[in-house]
Amino acid sequence: MRLIAAFLFTSLLPGALALPQAQPVDARALRNTMEETDLLLFDTSIDSFRVHMRHEDPPEFDWSTPGCGHIEDHPYIFRHACMRWQWGVQQYVAQGRLTEEARRRLDDQYEKDVRRKCYNMIPIESCQDDMEAWPEYFRAAEVDFIMGSGGKKN
């Protein structure tokens, strides 16, 4: 009996290993997750994104962020844009695709979010002054966020 089992094992194993493998489900799920990430970051309004974040929808994402406490001076302008940016960095790190190009795209979206919010405010002059100072606030926190936690949940 052992001889038959050994024969079957040694004769069937190489053939089984040589069979073409289907794409793993995890790779498909990751690709879908990446597409959903980009949809939420770049094709969803900041208000809709906030609803997704509040309800942690879709649930497969890590929705935690450090909270952007460094920009409490003007939370009505910067906080939600910052939270979306932090969430985006977090997802890109987890998905292994945080490149310089991706960082520029995330930074550009942050600036667009702030500008949209700012242009809907009265008095706009005050908001524009604050908006022009955003790189100073943002870059200091950005370095702390990425270097401190790597954009990952602790």
Tell me the pLDDT tens digit for each residue of 48-102.
Answer: 999 999 999 999 999 987 767 666 555 556 788 888 999 999 999 999 999 999 9
31 contact partners, CB below 8 Å, separation of at least 6: none
Q: What DSSP string runs through 102-125? A: HHHHHHHHHHHHHHHHHHTSSSHH
Return the CATH architecture of domain 28-149: Up-down Bundle (1.20)
> How confident is the model at residue 9, as a pLDDT?
36
Q: Could you give the C-alpha distances from 138 to 84, 95, 122, in angstroms and in order?
A: 13, 23, 23
Mean pLDDT score, 10-28: 45
Joined tokens for residue 50: 């906030």
Mean pLDDT of the chain: 73
Residue scoring higher pLDDT (96 or 31): 96
Does the pLDDT at position 17 exceed 70? no
For the chain, give every domain's residue range: 28-149
Output the pTM of the full model.
0.68
Q: Which amino acid is at 115?
A: R
In the predicted structure, residue 43 carries a pLDDT above the cut 90: yes
Is residue 44 over pLDDT 80? Answer: yes
Region 16-40: mean pLDDT is 68
Question: By percentage, how much of the chain surpasses pLDDT 70?
Answer: 57
